[in-house]
A and B are shown apart, each in its own frame.
Chain A
Amino acid sequence: MAPPVLEFRKVVKRFDTVTAVDAVSFSVHRGEIFTLLGPSGCGKTTTLRLVAGLEEPDSGEISIDGATVAAPGRGIFLPPEKRRLGMVFQSYAVWPHLTVFENVAFPLRVRRESSEVIRERVGQALQTVGLAGLPDRGATQLSGGQQQRVALARALVYEPAILLLDEPLSNLDAKLREQMRFELRALQKKLSLTILYVTHDQTEAMTLSDRIAMVNSGRLEQVGAPEEIYERPATPFAGQFLGRTVMLEGTFRRSAAQQWVELADGERIPARMDSTGSLIDGARVRLITRPEDIVILPPDRLEPTQIDAIVEQVDYLGDCFEYYLRTAGALLILTAPKKDRYAVGAKVRLGFDPARLSLYAQ
C-alpha cells in the first residue's frame, strides 16, 4: 500500500492547561474523505490547524506525503505556506479587497506562475466549482454559497496534496448545504482528491465520508467507515453522537452456560458472547442500541430478547406515532408505524435485536 498522504503520530497540542489534542494518531490515504466528527470544542479544528501548520504541536509527529512537517522533538516545523495544502475556512476567508479571479489566482501568483498559466488554471477552477461567469465580480458582492465556491476554487487551483475543509457547509442554508454536499462528493470522485473534513454534523459526516474519526475531548474514540461506527459504536459517546441511541442500565450476570444483563425491574436481556470479554459477574453496565432497532410488539409475545413496557404518552407525527415508553426504570422515546396503535396505559413488549445491542461497562 502507498504511504498515507497524512499521518499523525501521537500528536499533542495544549493551550495553557487545556489539552486540545491528546496523543492523537491516525492516517489518511490517497483519494479518501476522512472526517473528524465531534462536538464543538473537542479539538477537531485544532487537529486540522495542526495539519495546516497554523498551530505547532507540543509533541508527536505529523507527516504529509511521507515527509515530516512537524516534529517538535526533532526541531522540525514546516510553515503553512510550504505544505502544499488547500484549505476552505468556515468563514470562507475570501479576501474582500480582491476580485473572484484574483482570489483564486492568489496561490498561483505566490508560486510565480506565468499569466497564461494563471488565466487557464483559474478559468478551469472556476468552471469546476460552477462560477465560470463571475471572474471580475468583487468578492464582497457574492452570496454565501458563491463565496464558498470561490474558497473551494482557491483551494483546488494548485492541486494540493490534501484539501482541508473546516465546517465548510455550516454557514449555508439547509437546501444549499445538501446541494453542496452532493457536488463536493462528485468533485472529490472526479479529481480523486484527498480530503480531511471537519464537522459536527453527523449527516454530513455519514454521507460524505469514507472514514470517520469520532473526536471527543481531544481524543479519537473510534475510527472507521460510517456504517461500522453507526452499527458498532466503540464507546457510548460514539453511539450517542452519531444518531440517536437508547440506553438502559443494568447489572451484568454470567453463569457457566450463558450471560445476560439484569435490568432494574428484574427483566433480563441475553448478552452476546463477543462483547463481554473482561466483564465480571455483578458489574454495572449500560446497554445501548438505536431506537429504530427496537420493535414495539403486542403484550402476548414472549421471546428472551423482549421486555415489558407501558405506554405513557403517544404523539401523532403525521407519518408515524411517537411513543413514550416506561420500562426497566427508563423512559424510551420510539417511533412506530401507523398500522399498530397502542393507547396510553397499554402494556407492550419491546423487542431488541441482539446483533445491534452494545454493552459498555459503567
Chain B
Amino acid sequence: MDEKIFYITKGKLQELKKEYEEFIKLERHKNTGEAPRAFESEDLNPEFISFQEDMSFLRSRILELNNILEHYELIKNPPKEQKNIVGLGAKVKISVDGKKDEFIIVGTLEANPALGKISNESPVGKVLLGHKPGDEVVVSSPIKTVYKIKKIKYEIS
C-alpha cells in the first residue's frame, strides 16, 4: 500500500470518512453473519449499494480508505497574497496553443483529466504550480506545448 501523502479537499475528506464508517459497519455485519439493514447514509453513492455482497472489494476499499485517512493533508485556500499563484486547489484558466481550457489542480486521488481535474504530480500540473496569470510555461515533451495562464481562482470547499 502506498505511504504517500494524499492531498484532498475538506469536502472529499468528509465523503471518505463517511464511506469508511459505512463500510466498517457493513463489514462488521458480514463478519457476524447478520444481514445489514441498509446503508444509513442517503448521501452515499447509490452505485456502492450494489456491492454489498462483494467482500473482496469491501476489504480492498477499507484498506485503501484507512491508508488515505492515515496519510492525508487538507488542501486549503491560500493566504490572500498567494491567491494569484497556482497551487493545489486552484482553478486555472489557460490557453493552450490558442485554445481555451480550464483546469483544477488536485491531488492524485481526485485527479480526473477527462473532467479537467489535473494531478499536481502530472507534468502539466507540476509545471503550472507557482506561476501567475500572464506566465507562459512549456512542458518538457517531444512536442512543444505552451500553456498560457489567463486567470487563477480558488473555490475550495
Q: Are these two chains actual partners, yes or no?
A: no
